[in-house]
Amino acid sequence: MALTDARTREEEQERRHLAETVHRLTTELEHLTGYIDKSARTIEEKKEHLWANLRDMDFAEKANFRHEVDLSVLSAEHAAMRRKRIERLLESPYFGRVDFHARGDAGGGAYYIGVHNFSDPATQEILIHDWRAPVSGLFYDFESGAAFFETPEGTAHGEITGKRQYKIVGGRLEYMLDSSLNIGDDVLQRELSQSADDRMKNIVATIQREQNAVIRNETARVLILQGVAGSGKTSIALHRVAFLLYRFKDTLSSDNVMILSPNRVFGDYIADVLPELGEQQTAEIDFDRIAGTFLAEVADYETFGEQVVKLIENVDEAAAERMRHKATPEFVTDLDAWITSRADEEFTPAEIKQKHHRLPAEWVAETFDESRNLPVFTRLDHLANRAVYLLKQQVLDRGHKWAAADTAGVRRQVRAMFPHKDALAMYKAFYQDPDRRGMFKPLGRKKIEYADVFPLIYTMIRTARQENYGHIRHLLVDEMQDYTPIQYAVLRELFSCTMTILGDSNQSVNPFSSSSLSTIHNIFPEADCLELCKSYRSTTEITNFAQNISRNDKLVPIERHGLPPQVIACTDQRDQQARILTLIEQHSRSEHRSLGIICKTVTQAKTLHHALSEAGVEPTFLDYDSTAFAGGIVLTSAHIAKGLEFDTVIVPHADEENYTTEMDRCMLYIACTRAMHELHLTHHGPLSRFLEFAEEPRSRIVDTETAESHDHAADARVS
């Protein structure tokens, strides 16, 4: 009874504290709104004054006046940004509290932690600490007892006497929980059992200790993060970007951060996380866009998506061999050495003659030699420019004319000293070597295979000066396993900044050209490598099911239970469609929001989309041309679904014919690991070999009344 009283009293105190915080936030919001309105009026008046008196003002007065207007606009913008943050805080002012008694300090204090800092403007007292502030590390990194955090004056040691977590929605306390341990399991369970939002959401309130270590790593120039499916890699990487923006705010802004994502749908899916954390959206890029920038005027090329389609739908052994060859680190070393030696081996200095004036071959050799450290085509341009300058000088000195045709003539002679006309010609010549014969196979007259796209871009970068991303100071690379060493070599040339590189070697979409953790580490030997092994996305049942498809002994599933995955045997194609329609119908009646129907290929997804549309269901169809993610019911391929998640997933065509190769196994694994709460697989004909384990009676549910299994699941599910 006494305990309940104490608890009630504490809750009462917390409610009062919340009300007080909301009051102070509201006061500040009103103040800012007043300030912004007043600024808007002042700016308007100043502009009108400027227009009215423009003629009477001299240059200095006008400049002064404009400067004043600019300053007012800047200050109003700052206030508007601050107002946005206050509005966000009013929704949920804080999610955690840690009571810390610093050693030698009699008082000690309660630190409330939220998505932003908030200080009372009157007293400057910090009422809410930003989750990224050093003191907030206490909340994520320590249990009760001895703890420390860094302050500008040094390390503050002391003791944590209590930790509390809150769920505040719309400014109202939904619940609070005391937790002496790390972020309480209860809160995490509640968060994980919720339905998926349309987009990826922030997880600040429940960041786990091992995840926090990744987020707050300040020292790594390159950080490689290997994490099992659903371990929070992408979420953590985005929180890390938010942390770095906070920690290095004087030198790093969102304009200097870039995210290299697998495709635009994924880019759109994660687009809300940084703004939710109070940061601006960063620029986003993918390898297809890098290819577009470099090759638009050079060659037509197969895209990554087209290559995946080709591989899944019809594996061409010779093409696979070419891919394998170009996906090795040795290939990069070979190509690099070959490019580097071209100038020495193939440049033949010769005399340059123009308008009866000459530059001897020795001069040519010496001049070419002076620019040794530059790429070969840049060296040729330098040489030609010097030759044009000298010869033109001599011609003009004699009183003759120098025409554009003379400049072109000199350039032609210089270019003739090197056998390759451009990077593409040079790249093709690389394959003249008998050891490499057959390794280059264009698709038609001017189109190159995807496997040649980045070797060619690398050749371009190494042979002539190219634009790079010099303004980018941090690059985040997601799905690292899908990029080859040559792609990393291109990244190294284009970005000379710190990087966070993350992925999962179990989720490669192309077994012929994927990179293992050790390969990537060899490319970035200076990198810190961290690993996340706990999987948070799916129920234990779904994770265990996926583990049977592709085992990863390091994976630790989170204890959260739900319906066992269903494998539904259908009598024919029509029956399969009917079953899928029933599952969609069940989903729409359930508490779940998002449903992903994930086929192996885009072609299969398209066919199913057509059939479902005819039956009156209109899921959002995502293919390689899609640029935005959509909530609700989504129909797509495993490759495109990568990185996404859904409350419920249906995997159609789980038969032996469809899922039979190692590549198919990857696709099946990716599709199944997209499910958070429910997973259903349908098939007609023999079940895929990768699902043989599911044929055992306990895990396989064939022709059962689905409602019954739902009831069973409800019992097992943790609420």
Ligand X SMILES: Nc1ncnc2c1ncn2[C@@H]1O[C@H](COP(=O)(O)OP(=O)(O)OP(=O)(O)O)[C@@H](O)[C@H]1O
Residue numbers of the site for ligand X (CB under 6 A)?
A: 188, 191-192, 203, 206-208, 211, 227, 229-235, 504, 507, 536-537, 643, 645, 673
Q: Say what the alpha-carbon torsion angle 634, 308, 504, 468 is, to the nearest 10 degrees.
A: -100
Answer yes or no: is 233 a known binding residue: yes
Q: From CA 62, how far away is CA 68, in angstroms rounded? A: 10
Q: Which is nearer to ligand X, 33 or 193 (CB)?
A: 193
Taking alpha carbons only, the member of 262, 255, 193, 254 closest to residue 233 is 262
407 is in an annotated binding site: no
Directed axis angle between helix 450-463 and helix 423-430, to 10°? 120
Residue 212 φ then ψ, to 5°: -60, -35
Tokens of 488: 């990393």
Bridge-based pairing of strands 96-102 and 118-119 is unpaired
Question: Could you give the 3-state DSSP secondary structure of residue 162?
Answer: strand
Give first-to-last CA distance, the chain, whole Å: 27
User: At its nearest, how many Å lie between ligand X and the CB of residue 241?
Assistant: 13
Shortest spacing between CB 200 and ligand X, in angstroms: 6
Is 292 within any annotated ligand binding site?
A: no
Question: Which residue has the closest beta carbon to ligand X?
Answer: 232
For residue 121, give the amino acid letter.
P
Select 459 or 539, whichever has its Cβ closest to ligand X.
Answer: 539
Which residue, 211 or 487, has its beta carbon nearer to ligand X? 211
The CB-of-643 to ligand X minimum distance in angstroms stands at: 4
CB of 510 to ligand X, least distance (A): 16
**Could you tell me if 713 and 562 are in contact, meaning their C-beta atoms sit under 8 angstroms apart?**
yes
CA distances from 598 to 224, 267, 268, 612 (A): 29, 19, 19, 14
Least distance CB 60 / ligand X (angstroms): 55
Q: What is the DSSP string of 584-603?
A: HHHHHHSS---EEEEESSHH
Confirm if 129 and 111 have CB atoms less than 8 A apart: yes
Please report how close the Cβ of residue 203 comes to ligand X at its closest, in angstroms.
4
CB nearer to ligand X: pick between 207 and 486: 207
Say if residue 261 carries a ligand binding annotation: no
Q: Is 228 annotated as a binding residue?
A: yes
| Residue 227 labeled ligand binder | yes
Instruction: Give the nearest distance from C-beta 503 to ligand X in angstroms.
Output: 7
- Is 34 flagged in the annotation as binding? no
- Whole-number minimum distance, CB 145 to ligand X, in Å? 22
- Select 163 or 537, whichever has its Cβ closest to ligand X: 537
96 labelled ligand-binding: no
Separation between Cα atoms, residue 300 and residue 312, nearest integer Å: 22
Of 391 and 681, nearer to ligand X (C-beta) is: 681
Which among 356, 345, 440 has a CA at the least distance from the CA of 395? 356
Of 367 and 539, CB closest to ligand X: 539
504, HSE (Cβ side, Cα atoms, 13 Å): 26
Backbone angles phi, psi at 676, to 5 degrees: -90, -45
Nearer to ligand X, 127 or 188 (CB): 188
Q: Which residue ranges make up the annotated binding site for ATP?
A: 227-234
Binding-site residues from annotation: 227-234
